[in-house]
Amino acid sequence: MDEEAVIEQLNAIVELELAGAIRYTQYTLMIFGHARIPIIGWMKEQASEALDHARAAGEEVTTLGGRPSLGIGAVVATHHEGIDPILAELIEHERRGIGLYEELLTLVRSQSIQLEEYTRSMIRAEQLHLSEIVKMQRSH
Ligand SMILES: [Fe+2]
């Protein structure tokens, strides 16, 4: 297994998940209207989940003897007026995350059962999560 490449990939995940925690927190401040309370509640859960994911990826970095990234991925760049553009941005963010985990899988597949299990379970969790957001965008 190319440990350097795995550590680098895990660090990209740390940065994206941390940015996710901040993003979800920022979005909670831009939600208004009838659905505000349930949507904010859901976003707060997503923010702490992203933080858990950042920590989990960071733990894998240190398990491999690497240095965890102190960086952070892209956060929200504009103030959104409605929920739809927020959902569109979230879908893009979640797809990027799944992409990073899928790249990680190509690095660890058949190399480390432990890391492969971790990566597969993350892909499944993130995929379910993405499907939820896509369904929130739908009207029926
Ligand atoms: Fe995540």
Predicted confidence (pLDDT) at residue 109 exceeds the cutoff of 90? yes
Q: How far away, in angstroms, is 22 Cα from ligand 1 center?
A: 12
CA pair distance 43, 27, nearest whole angstrom: 8
Residues in the 5 Å CB sphere of ion ligand 1: 53
Compute the 3-state secondary structure of the chain and give helix, strand, coil in percent, each to the nearest 5. 75, 0, 25
Q: What pTM did the predictor assign?
A: 0.93
**Nearest by Cα to 118 from 43, 70, 47, 64:** 64
| Residue keyed to tokens 């299990």 | 117
Predicted confidence (pLDDT) at residue 139 exceeds the cutoff of 90? no
The per-residue pLDDT for 46 is 95
Q: How far away, in angstroms, is 68 Cα from ligand 1 center?
A: 17
The per-residue pLDDT for 81 is 83
Q: How far away, in angstroms, is 126 Cα from ligand 1 center?
A: 6
Q: How far away, in angstroms, is 76 Cα from ligand 1 center?
A: 16
Predicted confidence (pLDDT) at residue 57 exceeds the cutoff of 90? yes
| Residue keyed to tokens 């899928």 | 102
CA pair distance 116, 95, nearest whole angstrom: 19
The per-residue pLDDT for 76 is 83
Q: How far away, in angstroms, is 101 Cα from ligand 1 center?
A: 9
Confidence grade of residue 129 (pLDDT, cut at 50, 70, 90): very high
1-30 pLDDT per residue, tens:
999 999 999 999 999 999 999 999 999 999
Which residues have a Cβ under 8 Å from the Cβ of 2 and sit 6 or more positions away? 107
Q: Per residue in 101-123, is it b (16+ CB within 10 Å) or e — as a string?
A: beebbebbeeebeebbebbeebb
The per-residue pLDDT for 55 is 98
60-103 pLDDT per residue, tens:
999 999 999 999 998 888 888 888 999 999 999 999 999 999 99
As assigned by CATH, the class of the 3-43+62-137 domain is mainly alpha
Instruction: Copy the structure tokens of residue 124.
Output: 């499944």
The per-residue pLDDT for 127 is 97
Instruction: Copy the structure tokens of residue 130.
Output: 């993405």
